[in-house]
Copies of this chain bind each other. A is one copy, B any other.
Amino acid sequence: MPRRAEPPARRATVRDVAARAGVSPGTVSKALNGTGQISRATRDRILAAAQEIDFRPNALARSVFERRSYTVGLITTDSFERFSVPVMLGAEDALGAGKISVFMCDSRDDPIREKHYVDVLLGRRVDGFIVTGRIFNEREPLDVSPGVPVVYALTPSSDPGDCSIVVDDAAAGRVAGEHLIRLGRRRIGHITGSAWFDPARRRAAGLAEALGAAGLEVAGDPLYGDWTEAWGRQATHILLRSCPEVDAIYCGSDILARGVGDSLRELGRRVPEDVALIGTDNWEFIAGGARPPLTSVDLGLSTVGRLAARRLLEAIGGNSRAGKEYVPCHLVVRGSTDDLPPASTGSAS
């Protein structure tokens, strides 16, 4: 058998070990995985050859012979924007600790791209999938073989037999409403994004519920529009024309609340003295940069990711759940509301 003076400069492979030990690659795999019938002498020769050329233990080779690859696919429909990134990081935290590697796939809301990714990753024998995206509306289930676990994060599956981890939009509206009522506000308006977007309607309903419990109604109707600062500014003018006495506004996003805050200032209304303001998303970048910094409802996106990862691991282990699971939200108090949070619901930013 030829013996090279130096290990190869590229990484050693099963083939290199096989050549050095004078056996077939299949025999090397058996020796390294402890499977099959193989003589003690052959095994020792293979292990020595592997060591000589610095052959690293190969998770890839090992996983061929196991039922698991210790990989999962993370599919997002939204190009990893601000909603899916925290989910992804939460999932990665929960999975990385268990030595599971994550394949990332950006389907861009395109069913053909999604199918392509799913097929490629099924070929790689992923143990399961997490599906996420910015559209919190229900989506069609992922097209995978039966027996492959899938958990939906943020964007729930339309199949009630699937496991979906979602934010609690109704609670977001309730938390904002209850906080404003505790602060003594009574004429509370609501400016939000598209009514086509289920969470916009659920947040509005949660706010109405909290106000209703205090014998109040939303000042004016909830103002649905788009998710832009420009709409926030425009809607502020509309709201103040119809309800000049408004003393608080809850917004369906921090971006909207930025526009609302700017218009209030230009209309001579002080925040929070004249009008208290609460946003949604707790996007530090936007909420922290506002004048005054924005009190905001944190929807718990990274918790959604961590919980989705945990449910996926359980499902891979044979213990799957069905239905929607809601992650609690909480209020992060900054300067746009004029009070410290009660210890039970708030946290510092």
* Complex contacts, A14 vs chain B, CB 8 Å: 64-65
Q: For the complex, count residues of A whose C-beta is within 8 A of B.
A: 65
Say whether A101 contacts B120, CB under 8 Å: yes
Inter-chain CA distance A148–B285, complex, in Å, is: 37
Assuming the contacts A29-B29, A228-B289, asked whether A104 and B120 have C-beta atoms less than 8 A apart, the reply is no
Is A106 among interface residues, defined by CB-CB distance under 8 A?
yes
A99: nearest chain-B partner, CB-CB = B120
Neighbour of A11 across the interface among B27, B29, B145, CB < 8 A: B145
Q: Are B89 and A106 in contact (CB under 8 A)?
A: yes
* Partner-binding segment picked from A41-49, A53-61, A206-214, A306-314: A53-61
A80 within 8 A of B: yes
The CA of A44 and the CA of B291, in the complex, are separated in Å by 73
- Taken residue by residue from 123 to 144, chain A's Cβ proximity to chain B (1 for < 8 Å, 0 otherwise) reads as 1110000000000000000000
B60–A123 touching, CB < 8 Å:
yes
**A169 touches B (CB below 8 Å):** no
Interface contact B59-A64, CB-CB below 8 Å: no
Flag whether A115 is at the interface (Cβ < 8 A): no
Of B8, B36, B92, B259, the residue contacting A24 (CB under 8 A) is: B36
Residues of chain A in range 191-242 having any CB-CB distance to chain B below 8 Å? 228-230
Inter-chain CA distance A25–B67, complex, in Å, is 12
Q: How far is the CB of A38 from chain B (nearest CB, A)?
A: 10
Closest to A258 in B: B289
Given contacts A123-B56, A228-B289, A103 and B102 within 8 Å (CB-CB): yes
Report Cα–Cα, A286/B259, bound state, in Å.
12
Residue A13 lies at the interface, judged by CB distance under 8 Å to chain B: yes
A40 at the interface (CB under 8 A from B): no
Report the minimal beta-carbon distance from A98 to chain B, rounded to whole angstroms: 11
Question: Which A57-76 residues have C-beta < 8 A from chain B?
Answer: 57-61, 63-65, 67, 69, 71, 74
Decide if A320 is an interface residue (CB 8 Å cutoff).
no
- Does A146 count as interface, using CB distance less than 8 angstroms? yes
Within the assembled complex, what's the spacing in Å between the Cα atoms of A35 and B23?
Answer: 13
Residues of A316-340 contacting chain B, CB below 8 A: none
A122 at the binding interface (Cβ < 8 Å): yes
Q: Which residue of B lies closest to A16 (CB)?
A: B67
Q: Decide if A147 is an interface residue (CB 8 Å cutoff).
A: yes
A269 sits at the interface (CB 8 A): no
Q: Answer whether residue A249 sits at the interface, using C-beta atoms and an 8 A cutoff.
A: no
Check B60 against A230 for contact (C-beta < 8 Å). Answer: no
Extra contacts, 9 of them, besides A26-B35, A229-B289 (Cβ < 8 A), are A29-B64, A60-B125, A71-B124, A74-B104, A80-B80, A85-B85, A99-B120, A101-B120, A102-B103
Complex A-B: 11 CB contacts under 8 Å: A8-B147, A11-B122, A29-B64, A74-B104, A81-B85, A101-B120, A102-B103, A103-B104, A104-B104, A229-B289, A259-B289
**Which positions in A face B, CB cutoff 8 Å?**
8-11, 13-15, 24-27, 29-30, 35-36, 54, 56-61, 63-65, 67, 69, 71, 74, 79-81, 85, 88-89, 92, 96, 99, 101-106, 117, 120-125, 145-148, 228-230, 255, 258-259, 262, 285, 289, 291
